Amino acid sequence: DSGVTQTPKHLITATGQRVTLRCSPRSGDLSVYWYQQSLDQGLQFLIQYYNGEERAKGNILERFSAQQFPDLHSELNLSSLELGDSALYFCASSAGTGSLYEQYFGPGTRLTVT
């Protein structure tokens, strides 16, 4: 158990809909990262927040957005969903920001868009 929790575990929704994925980092961790894992694209970094502020952006679509709240939990919002958005979405957290800080991964949320 990494200490990172993600809800829900599974999500099935229809094209065009909007969903919110939630992540609670390990106690004391200030950084939260979101990754997408799909069969065709592999594991891709989406976005990072550090202590409530956006820190880095990767291959995140404009239809996707995220935020980190004062209690440090984070939410990833996916809108106008397409079939290709079906993937496993991971959240990771680390104590600080920088490559020396180990990222701890949650169990993921499996999103299926039908």
Partner 1 sequence: AQSVTQLGSHVSVSEGALVLLRCNYSSSVPPYLFWYVQYPNQGLQLLLKYTSAATLVKGINGFEAEFKKSETSFHLTKPSAHMSDAAEYFCAVSYAGTALIFGKGTTLSVSS
Cα–Cα dist 25/2, whole Å: 9
Cα–Cα dist 96/113, whole Å: 34
Size of the residue set binding partner 1 (CB under 8 A): 28
Nearer to partner 1, 14 or 100 (CB): 100
Q: Is 27 in the site for partner 1 (CB under 8 A)?
A: no
Q: Minimal distance in Å, beta carbon 107 to partner 1?
A: 5
For residues 40-69, which are near partner 1 according to CB under 8 A? Answer: 42-45, 48, 55-56, 58
User: 2 by DSSP, 3-state: which?
Assistant: coil
Cα–Cα dist 71/28, whole Å: 10
Cα–Cα dist 31/98, whole Å: 10
Tell me which residues touch partner 1 (CB under 8 A): 2, 4, 31, 33, 35, 42-45, 48, 55-56, 58, 90, 92, 94, 97-108
